[in-house]
Amino acid sequence: MSKNFQEQGGASTMNHSPFRRWLASMLISHMLSPQRLLKRRKRFEKQRCKAAARHRVEYFYQIDDSYSYLAAQLLKPLLETYDIELVCYLVSAPEGKNLPEPELLAALSGYDASSVAPHYGLSFPTLKSNSESTLDKNLADLALGILAAQDNRGLINRAAEVGRALWAGDKSALESLAAEYGIASASDIAARVEAGNARRKTLGHYAGAMFYYAGEWYWGVDRLHYLETRLKQLGAEYNPQKNLLAPRPAIQAGPLKDNASLRLEVYLSLRSPYTAICFDRAVKLATETHVELVLCPVLPMVMRGVPVTREKGLYIFSDTAREAREAGVPFGKFYDPVGEPVRRCYALYPWACSQGRGVELLSSFLRCAFAEGINTNTDRGLQTVVERAGLDWSQARGILAQSDWQDILEDNRQTMYAAGLWGVPSFRLTDQSGEQILALWGQDRLWLIAREIQRQIELNSEGSYE
């Protein structure tokens, strides 16, 4: 075992006593209860009606964030579609423990936004890889100054226009907009951003591109359909027959089948709630399209020394629960597997693969830990995982202390980082020679991977007739 690996994982189980693990798991499971969510929503709506207040939606715009720009293109349409009070704030980027890999995120987010924008009918400069960068800091400062000079309605009306010029790198366009709409002083800009950050912190969040409505957060265009659906249910839309502005694209395997031309690498962690709700769907997609599936487990970030703040952790779990409900995936009865449970399951993984049951082992572990609340820290819990995967527990017990899995996971992590990815789950679509076609982070990008698989199969089919 390498010194680097020991340093990353050695202190991961500190402060994870059995009682604290159980208590935290029970609290999270309670927090994720659908009944609790419905009660909170009813309480917020009752308070709004009692105060005779309008539906108030707040949006937090980060000028150098590609996702903020995508969402900004829907601010005016939101006001035209729903009877809401929309209040916009300017905010700075997340800091410290809420943003563990800022350089990687900046590079990937632009590429990711470029990839998804056309599917939502939005604009963003076309980027061919996550190594390209389109943002100039001086232009970002100019764009921020323009928006900081606007009142709330002016910010809503001009956010997309200013963002378009910024992300296109059009200095002359921004200068023209500054001449037309004005530009705030440095002190006014600082005050505006400070106020936005303070409001965001008061409400309990840390990131840009976030919508907030009545106790819940919605990230960018990817989660806007949840907000829209909620407003529709409350009768806040002007035209009930109108479609959602940003409907969620479905994960569709499609009719075309691959013929040994594509590989789908899935980077996953056994402590990732997002991995838990998409793992089986990713396997199903590869199976249905005949794409070669390559599973690439990595050590959980917290076990690599990357901390997670309380506010970030709470948002991740609540968002995952929402995503799971929409997908019809079991989730929410949780028993934290951090530390020894993860290590012991990974120790079994090479053996499970040799038995042709690697997929089944990982799927079983994730379901037990995140959907059934089974304590995988005990032999009894891990035995349940193993036997449900179709493996022999008596054989497994003699393998738990092996360490050959550690180098495998570290190699996976290095490959993941080399692709410009760092979080899980991530997906990397390659041809059979290993040439990267598409690399994206997040379970909410599986639909885009599915579409790219179909596109690549079609291109390969056309090429075979030339």
Expressed as residue numbers, the domain containing 68 is: 45-233
3-state DSSP assignment of residue 439? strand
**How sure is the predictor about 133, in pLDDT bands with cuts at 50, 70 and 90?**
low
Whether 3 maps to a domain, the answer reads no
Q: How confident is residue 104, by pLDDT bands cut at 50, 70 and 90?
A: confident
113 and 72, same domain (yes or no): yes
Range name among 18-22, 145-149, 268-272, 311-315 with the lowest pLDDT average: 18-22
In this structure, what CATH number is given to the domain that contains residue 147?
3.40.30.10
Which residues are CB-contacts of 448 (< 8 A; sequence separation ≥ 6)?
115, 116, 119, 249, 438, 440
Domain match, 72 and 218 both: yes
| Structure tokens belonging to residue 348 | 């079994």
| Per-residue model confidence (pLDDT) at position 11 | 34
Residue 124: CB atoms within 10 A of its CB come to: 24
Q: What is the pLDDT averaged over residues 241-251?
A: 96
Mean pLDDT confidence for 400-426: 94
Q: Is the domain of 168 the same as that of 289? A: no
Stretch (H or E) spanning 419 = none
- Give the integer Cα–Cα distance in Å for 172 and 124: 18
Residue 365 lies in a domain: yes
Handedness of CA 331, 334, 339, 341 (dihedral sign): negative
In a shared domain, residues 214 and 336:
no
Residue at 133 is within a domain: yes
Q: Is the pLDDT of residue 4 over 60?
A: no
Q: Which residue has the higher pLDDT, 91 or 31?
A: 91
Residue 239 lies inside a defined structural domain of this protein: no
∠ CA 138-98-450, nearest 5°, is 85
Query: Do 214 and 288 fall into the same domain?
Result: no
Instruction: Choose between 374 and 460: higher pLDDT.
Output: 374
Q: Is residue 365 within 8 Å of residue 376, measured between CB atoms?
A: yes
CA pair distance 439, 259, nearest whole angstrom:
21
Helix, strand, coil proportions of the chain in percent (round to 5)? 55, 10, 35
**Does the pLDDT at position 9 exceed 60?**
no
Mean pLDDT check: name the lowest of 85-99, 339-353, 381-395.
85-99
Task: For 442, list phi and psi in degrees, rounded to 5.
Answer: 115, 140
Q: What is the pLDDT of residue 156?
A: 98
Q: How many domains does the chain have?
A: 2
The DSSP bridge partners found for residue 220 are none
Q: Considering the entire predicted model, what is its pTM?
A: 0.93
For 293-352, how does the pLDDT look when each residue is reduced to its tens digit (9 = 90+)? 999 999 998 777 677 788 888 999 999 999 999 999 999 999 999 899 999 999 999 999
Please tell me the least confidently modeled range out of 104-108, 248-252, 326-330, 450-454.
104-108
337 in the same domain as 223: no
